Amino acid sequence: MARIVSVTFETDSHARAGHFSVPKRVADFLGMSDDDDVELRILAEGLRLEVATQLRSGLEVYHRQGDPTTAGLDAIPPNTPILVTVSHPRDEHAADGARAWDYGSFTDALVEGGVSRQVAAELLDTFVAWANERGVAMIWGQAKLGSLHFRLPADGVSGSSAPRQRLFSLFIPGRVELQFAGMLAPFDQALRAAELANKLSEISGVAISRSVGYPSFPVSALGDIRARLAFVGVMDWVIDETNGMDTADARKWSRSELDSSLKAFEAECVASGMKPNSVFSYVDYADRFVKWIYGDYQPRAATGPPRSAGLRSFGVFELTRLTEEYRSELQAARLQPAAINTYYRHAGFFVRWLAGQFRPGARLK
């Protein structure tokens, strides 16, 4: 029997950069549920995109050739008609002959892949103990080539629901994979993803050269106990930052409160000893972002009408999402890449300051 590997349908890009909708009939056909995510993992070719699905079952599938990014969809202006192909697994991780993996079989497979039995056992022991302590769900892959995924569950109990955060995965024959393209707030923001990559790269033997896509490194890099503890220490930080979004987002700022916060932000910048020009840049770009939210500012050559937020108040989670929309509009207005980066980074600094995660004058990461 022929195996259907993809479904193509027409949709349009959302105002939120890098997103689109999946029609219900297509989602039903693919077996997707309401809270399934669509991973954007293939570079656009014209206005045609090919993406893979990540299902609640924990099975993560995507095309590994070329390690694609989400750059294509981000570059398409909002509401642009696009043709999308949503694909089922068809790479080596989804080969026919699915099997159930567990601690013993995964350890044996790591050894067969060249990892010493001692390192394989100590690695899994460390990760299992850490996951149990932190309430992290461990999801064993079902494909012929083994995988083990570590997820922070949204329900705080198990991995049966959509994840609160995607932490990392282990793949046979012996790789540790970070999934920046699939991470959720606050690490779906480029600045935070880069911060995570920097922290990981500070671990001896671990080299993360980029904070997009799905970089990986050999499990042998975590053979030393100090490296393993440093790695789970970074994952602890990811969990704390992710959980902190819930607390921070309980606080919402109105337009007048954001304006007042800008004055407090400026005062803190001055008190930190920043040079006047730096203070001006930090505050001015943050002010433009706030004005953009409420429709009082648009980049020159903007392609759409001004935003209209009315009297809405926003929490940190919403503001973080808005920085991504802001960057999308700056790109659509064809600003120079350096200018886009400046506008986007400074908007992000202000939002992180509101969340208590940024201190003016401190070393930037």
Asked, as a colleague might, if the bond just before 337 is cis with ω within 30 of 0, I would say no
**What pTM, to 2 d.p., does this model score?**
0.50
Q: What is the DSSP letter of 220?
A: G
SS3 content of the chain, % helix, strand, coil (to 5): 45, 15, 40
Range 12-16 average pLDDT = 58
Q: What is the pLDDT of residues 188-230, one digit of tens each?
A: 888 889 989 999 999 999 989 888 878 889 999 999 988 998 9
CA distances to 51, 60, 90, 214, 348 from 4, in Å: 15, 17, 10, 26, 42
Q: How far apart are the first and last CA of the chain?
A: 52
Q: Which of 25-34, 100-109, 258-267 has the highest mean pLDDT?
A: 258-267
Q: Which helix H or strand E contains 287, and what residues bound it?
A: helix 276-293
Q: How many helices (H) and strands (E) does the chain have?
A: 10, 9
pLDDT at 82 over 90: no
Q: What is the pLDDT of residues 93-147, one digit of tens each?
A: 444 445 678 899 999 999 998 999 999 999 999 999 899 888 888 888 776 778 8
